Amino acid sequence: MTAQVELPPQPTLSRVGTLLRARELGIGIVIVVVFVTATLKNHAFANSHSFQQLLTGAALIALLGVGETLVIVTRNVDLSVGSVVGLSAYVVGDTFKHHPHTPILLGFVLGIAIGAAIGAINGLITTVARVPSLVVTLAALYIIRGVDGVIVNGKTIDPGSIPKVFQEVGYRTLFGLPWLAIIVAVVVAVVGYAMRSFRAGRDLYAIGSNPDAAALAGVPTGRRVFTAFLVSGSLAGLAGALFLALHAQVDVTGGNGYELTVIAAVVVGGVAIFGGSGTVLGAALGAVLLNTINQALVASKVSAFWNDAIAGALLLAAIAFDRWLSLRIARNLRSAEGAHRSV
Amino acid sequence: MSDTATRPPTTTSYPGAGSNRRPSWHALLRWESALVLVLIAVLIFGSSKSSTFLNSTTFFFTGLNMGEVAIMALPLLLIVMIGEIDLSVASMLGLSGAVMGHLFQSGWSIWAAMGVALLVGALGGALNGVLVAKAGLPSIAVTIGTLTLFRGVAEIILPTPTTRLIPASLTKVGVVPIQGTQLAYSAAIFFVMAVIFAVILHATPLGRSLVAIGLQPESAQFSGIRVNRIRFGLYVASGVICAFAGILFTLKNSSASYGAGSGLELTVVAIVLFGGVSIFGGRGTVLGVVLAVVIVGCLQQALTQMHVQPEVQNIVTGALLLISVIVPNSGEALRRIRERVRRG
Amino acid sequence: MIQLRTTRRGMPVALAVLTVGALIAGCGSSTKSTSTSGSPTASGVKKGLTVYFIPKDTQNPYEVIADQGGQAALAELGGKVVVSSGTADTAAAQIPSIQAAIQAKADAIVIAGNDPSALCPSLGQAVAAGIKIVSFDSDVTCPNHLFINQANTEQIGTSEVDLLAKEINSTGDIAILSAAASATNQNGWIGFMKTQLKKYPNMKLVSTVYGNDDPATSLTVLQGLLSAYPNLKGIISPTTVGISTAAQYLSTHKDVAAKVTLTGLGLPSQMKPYIKDGTVKAFELWNPNNLGYLAGYAAAALASGSASTATGAKFTAGKLGSYTVLAPSGATGPSVVLGPPTVFNSANIDQFNF
Q: Is A306 on the interface with B (CB under 8 A)?
A: yes
| Burial bucket for residue B4 (CB in 10 Å: 0-12, 13-18, 19+) | middle
Provide the chain C residues 171-200 that lie in CB contact (below 8 A) with chain B. Answer: 180-182, 187
According to DSSP, the β-strands at C203-210 and C172-178 are parallel
The CA-based angle A285-A235-C219, given to 5 degrees, is 60
Residue A147: list chain C partners with CB under 8 A.
none
Going by the DSSP 8-state scheme, the letter that residue A266 receives in this structure is H
b/e sequence B181-214, b meaning 16+ C-beta within 10 Å: ebbbbbbbbbbebbbebbeebbeeeebbbbbbbb
Which band of pLDDT confidence, cut at 50, 70 and 90, is reported for residue A167?
Answer: very high
DSSP bridge partners of C210: C178
* B285, B211 Cβ separation under 8 angstroms: no
pLDDT at C84 over 90: yes
Which band of pLDDT confidence, cut at 50, 70 and 90, is reported for residue C14?
Answer: very low
Nearest CA in chain B to C16: B287
SS3 label, residue B236 = helix
The verdict on a CB contact (< 8 Å) between A149 and B317 is no
> What pLDDT sits at residue A233?
97
> What pLDDT sits at residue C115?
86
Q: Is A109 on the interface with B (CB under 8 A)?
A: no
Q: What is the mean pLDDT of chain B?
A: 87
Q: How many angstroms away from the CA of C142 is the closest CA of chain B?
A: 11
CA B255 from chain centre, in angstroms, equals 23
Strand order in C50-54's β-sheet? C80-83, C50-54, C108-111, C132-136, C146-149, C335-337
Residue A171: list chain C partners with CB under 8 A.
252-253
Q: What is the mean pLDDT of chain C?
A: 85
Q: How many angstroms away from the CA of C184 is the closest CA of chain A?
A: 16
Q: Kindly state the average pLDDT of the residues A235-240.
A: 97
Nearest residue, CB atoms, A207 vs list B15, B315, B326: B15
The verdict on a CB contact (< 8 Å) between B310 and A149 is yes
Higher pLDDT, A23 or C46: C46
Residue A249: list chain C partners with CB under 8 A.
215, 244-245, 248, 270
The verdict on a CB contact (< 8 Å) between B208 and C4 is yes
pLDDT at C12 over 50: no
DSSP bridge partners of C323: C315
Q: How many angstroms away from the CA of A324 is the closest CA of chain C?
A: 31
Name which of B30, B192, B305 to mutate to probe chain C: the one with the most chain C Cβ atoms within 10 A of its Cβ: B305
User: Subunits touching B (CB < 8 Å, at least 3 pairs)?
Assistant: A, C
Nearest residue, CB atoms, B181 vs list C24, C58, C187: C24
Please give the C-alpha separations between residue C72 and each of B281, C83, C107, C142, C318, in angstroms, as whole numbers. 54, 13, 17, 27, 10
Q: How many angstroms away from the CA of C90 is the closest CA of chain B?
A: 8
Which band of pLDDT confidence, cut at 50, 70 and 90, is reported for residue B27?
Answer: low
Which residues, in sequence order, are CB contacts of B166 under 8 Å at separation 6+? B104, B110, B250, B251, B254, B255
Highest mean pLDDT among A101-115, A158-172, B295-309: A101-115
Residue C177: list chain A partners with CB under 8 A.
none
Name which of B29, B255, B303, B315 to mutate to probe chain C: the one with the most chain C Cβ atoms within 10 A of its Cβ: B255
Q: How many angstroms away from the CA of C7 is the closest CA of chain B?
A: 10
CA C50, CA A272: separation in Å to the nearest integer? 55
Q: Kindly state the average pLDDT of the residues B219-245.
A: 95
Highest mean pLDDT among B4-8, B56-60, B114-118, B318-322: B114-118
Which residues, in sequence order, are CB contacts of B70 under 8 Å at separation 6+? B186, B187, B190, B194, B271, B289, B290, B293, B297
What's phi and psi for A321, nearest 5 deg? -60, -45
Nearest residue, CB atoms, A225 vs list B15, B18, B156: B15
- Give pLDDT tens digits for C92-125: 899 999 999 999 999 999 999 988 889 999 999 9
Percentage of chain C lying above the pLDDT 70 cut: 88
Q: How many angstroms away from the CA of C167 is the closest CA of chain B?
A: 32
CA B210, CA B199: separation in Å to the nearest integer? 13
Nearest residue, CB atoms, B309 vs list A130, A141, A150: A150
* ipTM metric: 0.83
User: Subunits touching A (CB < 8 Å, at least 3 pairs)?
Assistant: B, C
Which band of pLDDT confidence, cut at 50, 70 and 90, is reported for residue C20?
Answer: very low
Residue A42: list chain C partners with CB under 8 A.
227-228
Residue A149: list chain B partners with CB under 8 A.
309-311, 314
Nearest residue, CB atoms, A247 vs list C208, C215, C223: C215
SS3 label, residue C261 = strand
Nearest residue, CB atoms, C99 vs list B56, B61, B183: B61
